[in-house]
Chain A
Amino acid sequence: AQTVTQSQPEMSVQEAETVTLSCTYDTSESDYYLFWYKQPPSRQMILVIRQEAYKQQNATENRFSVNFQKAAKSFSLKISDSQLGDAAMYFCAYRSAEHSGGGADGLTFGKGTHLIIQP
């Protein structure tokens, strides 16, 4: 079974600064997807960014980018120019690309990192 580990329960950053959230995962599969989800106090799960394991290029979405290190099984999220609206729980998630049943198409989540933005 796959596992996802987020070692930082809480991170704090000054507004307009850059912050990096860590995520590591364990899998024996070679083809998979990785995601970062944002959960604000409203509880809504919002997809921030995704990465396909077969792509070497790191994904970027505006102020959000990832550092994907496949060999190290690491998938960190960098938020540039942090804004007050970025304050939320951030979850790293894994999904197998192999539709072999047994819940393989569902997401496996880490425990989350609470991001605080200091004004």
Chain B
Amino acid sequence: NAGVTQTPKFRILKIGQSMTLQCTQDMNHNYMYWYRQDPGMGLKLIYYSVGAGITDKGEVPNGYNVSRSTTEDFPLRLELAAPSQTSVYFCASKSRTSSSYEQYFGPGTRLTVT
């Protein structure tokens, strides 16, 4: 199992550009999440999804969009990138079963907007 994979690992964007961060999981997890981690801070929830076709906002959704057309994929779209979006982005997934607690994290994408 590859677990949760994210691409790219690093990216530099100019202000106003757009890009999509890819996230794929092969564990058949229903729940998926996007977090951002700013320097010296903990992770903050951007968006989450409880299943294909269902997404909802987390704590810091402004400037981002998501979609969930399949169970496996949960891409994060940045429109009109701003310096405030410079961060490390983590995707995570979790099983829906009540006995499952752990969120499995991808390796992160480091994004710099200049």
- Which residues of A are in contact with B by a Cβ distance under 8 Å? 4, 33, 35, 42-45, 47, 50, 52, 91, 93, 95, 101-103, 105-112
Contacts and interface: CB of A to CB of B under 8 A. Distances in A.
Interface stretch (B13-21, B76-84, B101-109): B101-109
A103 B101 contact: no
B107 A43 contact: yes
B45 A103 contact: yes
B75 interface: no
A103 B48 contact: yes
B74 interface: no
Interface of B: 31, 33, 35, 40-45, 48, 50, 56-59, 88, 90, 92, 94, 101-103, 105, 107-108
Contacts, number: 57
A110 B88 contact: no
Given A43-B107, A50-B101, A112 B56 contact: no
A111 B40 contact: yes
Nearest to B40: A111
Given A33-B101, A44-B105, A50-B102, A109 B57 contact: no
A106 B102 contact: no
Nearest to B57: A103
Given A43-B108, A44-B107, A50-B101, A105 B42 contact: no
B56 A101 contact: yes
Nearest to B94: A105
Given A45-B90, A103-B57, A103-B58, A109 B44 contact: yes
A110 B105 contact: no
Nearest to B33: A106
A102 B40 contact: no
Contacts of A35: 101
11 contacts: A4-B42, A47-B102, A93-B42, A101-B56, A103-B59, A105-B48, A105-B50, A105-B94, A106-B33, A106-B35, A112-B40
